[in-house]
């Protein structure tokens, strides 16, 4: 009987020790889990702080380019043109009604040529040969394999971005410039804005297949009635058309720039005796 009781006590003792060990092990695991949880929490907080600091250290770059705003412009310019087997230099008077009409007159003593550019067409009179040329931007774009339009021509003359800055455009800051990248699907544009005057100093564009490019440089900036405009404009267009490479260079030196409140007039008529000339592709 005593032996049996001893056996029962021994068994109970063993079970009690096992239970104590299990409880102790359970408490140990719980403490380890608490420590791990605290460590994880601290590490998470560190990562979150680093992400916040990283965001604070690299703020989004923004820039607002300085645009030339006007009602009417009158520009006296010298034009150097090289392309299509021609190399010419001539003085030109350029009159612009903002976003509407560009009127050009070339005179060397007497007027030798006159042109008018509207939002849908371009017409030039050759007074020497009594001919005229008429184009639309769609046909010119196909011929040069480059997207030509009125806004591009106007912006090239005065130094504004051809496509106004959009919210989705990418902006980065370089050593002396802000760089604005614009993806227009069929055309990619890189606009370089000077940090000192916020003016467009270089424009580079290429078609999606990189078959055609345009490179424009602006310089000799002049402050006219608190408006900053470039006096020097250099344009180079390299295009592929019908397996041929077309290279065109146009340099403009603006010698006089006048901002006008009243229209300077845009007289233009095609004389009945003039013959239309169609360019060969």
pLDDT tens profile 161-180? 999 999 999 999 998 999 99
Q: Once rounded to an integer, what is the mean pLDDT over residues 255-281?
A: 92
Q: Once rounded to an integer, what is the mean pLDDT over residues 98-124?
A: 95
Output the pLDDT for position 33: 54
Coil vs helix vs strand at 43:
helix
Q: Once rounded to an integer, what is the mean pLDDT over residues 101-124?
A: 95
pLDDT in tens, 168-220: 999 999 989 999 999 988 889 999 999 999 999 999 999 888 788 999 999 99
The most confident of the ranges 6-20, 24-38, 133-147 is 133-147
pLDDT in tens, 225-244: 889 999 999 999 998 767 77
The percentage of the chain sitting over the pLDDT mark of 70, rounded to a whole number, equals: 77
How many alpha carbons fall within 13 Å on the CB side of residue 119? 4
Angle (nearest 5°) at CA 28 between 23 and 30 = 95
């Amino acid at each position: 009987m005593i032996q049996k009781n001893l056996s029962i006590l021994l068994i109970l003792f063993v079970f009690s020790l096992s239970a104590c060990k299990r409880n102790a092990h359970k408490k140990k695991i719980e403490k380890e889990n608490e420590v791990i949880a605290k460590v994880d929490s601290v590490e998470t907080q560190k990562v979150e702080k680093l992400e916040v600091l990283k965001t604070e250290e690299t703020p989004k770059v923004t820039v607002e380019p300085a645009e030339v705003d006007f009602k009417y412009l009158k520009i006296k310019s010298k034009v150097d043109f090289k392309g299509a087997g021609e190399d010419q230099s001539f003085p030109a008077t350029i009159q612009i009604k903002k976003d509407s009409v560009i009127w050009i007159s070339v005179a060397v003593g007497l007027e030798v040529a006159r042109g008018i550019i509207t939002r849908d067409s371009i017409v030039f009179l050759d007074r020497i040969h009594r001919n005229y040329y008429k184009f639309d931007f769609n046909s010119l774009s196909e011929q040069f394999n480059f997207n030509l339009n009125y806004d591009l021509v106007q912006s090239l003359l005065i130094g504004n971005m051809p496509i106004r800055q959009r919210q989705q455009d990418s902006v980065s800051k370089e050593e002396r410039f802000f760089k604005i990248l614009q993806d227009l699907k069929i055309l990619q544009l890189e606009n370089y804005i000077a940090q000192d005057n916020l003016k467009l100093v270089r424009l580079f564009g290429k078609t999606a297949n990189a078959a055609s490019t345009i490179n424009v440089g602006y310089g000799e900036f002049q402050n006219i009635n608190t408006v900053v405009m470039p006096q020097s404009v250099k344009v180079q267009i390299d295009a592929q058309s019908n397996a041929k490479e077309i290279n065109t260079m146009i340099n403009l030196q603006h010698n006089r720039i006048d901002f006008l409140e009243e229209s300077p007039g845009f007289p233009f008529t095609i004389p009945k005796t003039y013959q239309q000339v169609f360019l060969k592709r």
